[in-house]
Amino acid sequence: MRSLLIHIGRSFLGLYFLIPGIGKFLAWDSSLALMETHNMKMVPVLLAISGMVQVFGGISLLLNKHVVICSVGFAFMIILININLHDFWNVYDGVSADREAQNFFKNLGIFAGLLLLAALNIKEPSKKDR
């Protein structure tokens, strides 16, 4: 049962990053506009990097490959996204502070799930390796 729950959780986290990663490329202009609204710098470069990381990392999680690296990397990415795109404490034209606060706290839950997934996949050294 434990293995099944970990597999389901890892798969949904993989999809959570894979689908928006693909979406960044399919809706390039609106993704650029969102980032520019939040006064981010080097937007096209950051958008391309984040899209590629999400696609390849999401696929890796789905395939159960490099789970610790992907989980910790995505956790770091979520913190950066929260600070730069879900900064509900700032006011932007056309951006709902309530919606950004909701996204900010939702992302903290995903952050926690990623840390748990990483912890579950860290291989403890055997007694003979110590």
Structure tokens at 71: 């989980």
Question: Which residues contact residue 114 at a Cβ distance below 8 angstroms, ignoring those fewer than 6 apart?
Answer: 13, 71, 72, 74, 75, 78
Output the six-digit token pair for 84: 């730069």
Dig out the tokens for 3 from the structure.
């293995």
User: From the centroid of its chain, how far is CA 30?
Assistant: 19
CB-CB neighbours of 31 under 10 Å? 19
pLDDT band at 79 (very low <50, low <70, confident <90, very high): very high
Quick one: tokens of 35? 């980032």
Domain boundaries, the chain: 2-122
57 neighbors 74 (Cβ within 8 angstroms): yes
pLDDT of residue 92: 84
3-state secondary structure of 90: coil
pLDDT tens for 84-96 read: 889 889 888 888 9
Q: Is 66 a residue whose pLDDT tops 70?
A: yes
Distances (CA, A) of 25 to 18, 20, 107: 11, 9, 21
Sign of the dihedral defined by the CA atoms of residues 95, 24, 10, 85, in that order: negative
